[in-house]
Structures are given as structure tokens and as C-alpha cells.
Structure 1
Amino acid sequence: MKKISILILAVLFISCKSEAQQKEKNTKEFKVQKTENEWKAELTDKEYRILRKAETERPFSSPLNDIEEPGVFVCAACGNQLYETKHKFKSGTGWPSFDRAIENSLALSSDRKLGYERSELLCGDCGSHLGHVFDDGPKETTGKRHCINGVALEFIPKEKL
């Protein structure tokens, strides 16, 4: 009887995937709507995997980590303005980090890919995966750290805006 109970619990545990979070993300209406084939045609393989399949780039691999000049970071998939350089900080984590986004530029979701719930940051216009937000940012500002994949962003210097 004990073995059957353990087996039932194991089956229930395995079947409890985070489908609700996935459905929540997929059913939200975003301004920019494209088919998966359209995204694949427009994005590089790496951009597609990160922006549309929520993968993560290797830490310390983004040239955007070192950008300090004034400007705006936009979504690499749709061009939505997301972050200003003035809110960027060196977190030491290996990914571009910001303490806040441009108002109304993001959407939030949640994921449990690592076995615990994290707040996932999505582009507010196209729903592309950007990264995650954590509560270990600069205490003197917002206390938040938006940990963003550099591949998910493009930088536009202030003089080109």
C-alpha cells in the first residue's frame, strides 16, 4: 500500500507542470502579433531561442554589459523602448542589469523552470522573454534588479533617438 501511495504522489508531482503560467503568457494580447514562423524568419537563431523560447545567454557574454553612454535599450524583437542607461548598474552577475524600466514598457509573468517561482520580464509590446526581476538591486533606488539577456536588447545612443 505504501508503494502505491508513493507512486500516486510521484505521478501527481510530475503532472503538475506550470501550465497556468504558460497559458497566462500565451493568452495575453500584445500589440505586436506574429506567427512562430515569422519570428523565426526575422530573428537570429540565438535571438529566437532567448526571446521566444525563454532561454538564457551565457553570463558575461553580452557587449551591452559595458555600455554607460546615455541612450535607450530597446526590445531586439520589436523595438519597444524598455530601459534607459541612467537606470543601468553593474550587478556583477554577468547580465545587463537595471533598477527600473521605462514606465508601461514591460509585462510580467512567472516561471517555475528552476523548481521555484520567479518573476519573468516580457516586452510589453510583443511578449518576448527578456529576463527576470529580483529583489537584490540597489537599496538606494528601487531595490530591484532587472536581470536582462543582452541578446534581447539593442542599444540606441541618445543622439540617434
Structure 2
Amino acid sequence: MSSFVVRVAAAPADREACFAVRNAVFVVEQQVPEEIEYDALDAEDADTVHVLAVAADGLPLGTGRLLYGPAAADRTGGDASVGSLGRLAVNKAARGLGVGVALVRGIEDAARERGLAAVDLHAQTQALGFYERLGYVAYGPEFLDAGMGHRAMRRVL
């Protein structure tokens, strides 16, 4: 499983694979209520880019999404030059293989393609070190989301 690709999830089957990974990681593993895991920003017409990591055999390994424009406004303080990275999830069997790093870089590439200057995210506190290694800087106080501690972070592109 060391060989994988990250691509924009444009086809309906790719988007379904993204949602399946999110269900396995967030709903099943982390026990996030399903009704708060999926939102209107998952709709195809939202200002959203979903990315998908897929193994050479087609097995979905991980996913993440980028919000931009009006979809990101609530998360970025209304700054249209900042995108919002979220819903980053890697299946348990694929962790430690570089999938998460590749997904973050894929989301940053999508942000650059849309002319964004920075990417914000809300990191679970246990994942702060992962994002710091990728150049993200925490700001503001810790807050709860889905019952878990989070911090806001930003990386200038």
C-alpha cells in the first residue's frame, strides 16, 4: 500500500469514497455524530473541493476538503483570500504512510489554483504537531468541536 495518488474527487464515485472514509474515521472511530459530520458544504454546488487519496489497487485511503469563497467565510473571518482545510481523514490502516501529508499538500495546491493566499484549519489538539510540521501556526484559544479540543491554525501559501 506504499503507492497512492491524491486527486480531486470530481466523479460521484470519488465523492462517495470520500464520505466513506470520513464515516469510518469520524463517525465510527471517533464517534462524531453523523448529523454533524456531513453538512451543506458537502453538496456538489458548494464552493468546496474534495480530495481523495487512492491506493494503486483503487482502495480509498484518505480524504480532505477545501472551502473557499462564501463557503469559507465563517471559518476565515470573512477573508476571501483564505481557504479552510477540513474533514482531513486517513483510514487507520493507511496511517504513517504519508497519506495525510499528501492530502494537505493537495488541498494547498487546490487553494493556490483558486488564488488563495493562505489556508486555515481547525486541528484536533492531538494533531497540532502534525500540522506544525507542515508549516501551520496555531492561534487563538482552544475550543470544543464535536466534544473534542481544537485550535485554529493557518499557513501562508
Look at both structures and tell me which one has the larger radius of gyration over its CA atoms: 1
Which is richer in strand? 2
TM-score, normalised via structure 2 length:
0.26
Q: TM-score scaled to structure 1, two decimals?
A: 0.25
Which structure has more RCO (C-alpha within 8 Å, separation ≥ 6)?
1
